[in-house]
Amino acid sequence: MSEGKERGGAAKSHEQWLTGAGLKATLPRVRILQHLKAAHDEQRHLGAEEIYARLYQAGERIGISTIYRVLLNLEQVGLVTRHQFSQGAVSRCVYELSFGERHDHMVCVETERVIEFRDPVIEARQEQIAQAHGYEVVGRELVIRVRRITS
């Protein structure tokens, strides 16, 4: 079983992540977490259909409805974060594990690639803006739509 870092920093198995969140370590849950962890290591975000394709290529026969149900369960217990990126009338959901540093996203409008980044200056400015209006930041999500610069 591959290992990963949990929010607290200690290495835990996928089964431990699940049982720690109050879920049974079923095969679909473990396999989906494995693929999300691999995607995290590749600095990628996966949609349900991409998870299905990866599982299918690996010889796992887990139905797409099961994948959606498992992703919802994992999101409800805080193991997975769902992001919905919209481009005009088209909307796409991608998922990532809910550990690691807080970060923002850039989405390429041509390839739909999601790029994570962290910028303390942007975070500090958001705090300043909230305070200037008499609020404190309790959550944040910044998405910048980008296109590769061509020379």
The whole-model pTM stands at 0.76
Per-residue pLDDT of the chain (151 residues; tens, 9 = 90+): 334 444 444 457 889 989 999 999 999 999 999 999 999 888 889 999 999 999 999 999 999 999 999 999 999 999 999 988 877 767 789 999 987 678 889 989 888 888 889 999 999 999 999 999 999 999 888 989 999 999 7
Q: What is the pLDDT of residue 8?
A: 42
Task: Indicate whether 14 and 50 sit together in one domain.
Answer: yes
Task: Indicate whether 93 and 105 sit together in one domain.
Answer: no
Task: Indicate whether 59 and 6 sit together in one domain.
Answer: yes
Q: Are 94 and 47 in contact (CB under 8 A)?
A: yes
Phi, psi of 146 (to 5 degrees): -130, 165
Specify the pairing of strand 104-108 against strand 114-117.
antiparallel
Task: Indicate whether 73 and 123 sit together in one domain.
Answer: no
How high is the mean pLDDT of the chain?
A: 87
Query: Which of these three, 82, 97, 112, is where a domain ends?
Result: 97
CA distances from 26 to 8, 79, 148 (A): 23, 15, 41
Which CATH number covers residue 57? Answer: 1.10.10.10
Rounded CA separation 65/119 (Å): 37
Q: What is the pLDDT of residue 89?
A: 65
Task: Indicate whether 89 and 22 sit together in one domain.
Answer: yes
The two structure tokens encoding residue 132: 């200037």
Task: Indicate whether 75 and 115 sit together in one domain.
Answer: no
Structurally, how many domains does the chain consist of? 2
Q: What is the pLDDT of residue 62?
A: 95
Rounded CA separation 44/41 (Å): 8
Q: Are 93 and 47 in contact (CB under 8 A)?
A: yes
Q: What is the pLDDT of residue 100?
A: 67
Task: Indicate whether 10 and 60 sit together in one domain.
Answer: yes
CA distances from 106 to 44, 123, 144, 146 (A): 12, 15, 5, 6
Which segments within the chain are labelled E, that is strand? 3-5, 11-13, 80-87, 90-97, 104-108, 114-117, 143-146
Assign 93 to helix, strand or coil.
Answer: strand
Task: Indicate whether 11 and 78 sit together in one domain.
Answer: yes
The two structure tokens encoding residue 106: 């850039």
Which CATH number covers residue 117? Answer: 3.30.1490.190
Task: Indicate whether 72 and 87 sit together in one domain.
Answer: yes
Query: Which of these three, 70, 97, 124, is where a domain ends?
Result: 97
Task: Indicate whether 120 and 88 sit together in one domain.
Answer: no
Range of the domain at 144: 101-151
Task: Indicate whether 108 and 91 sit together in one domain.
Answer: no
Q: What is the pLDDT of residue 125?
A: 95
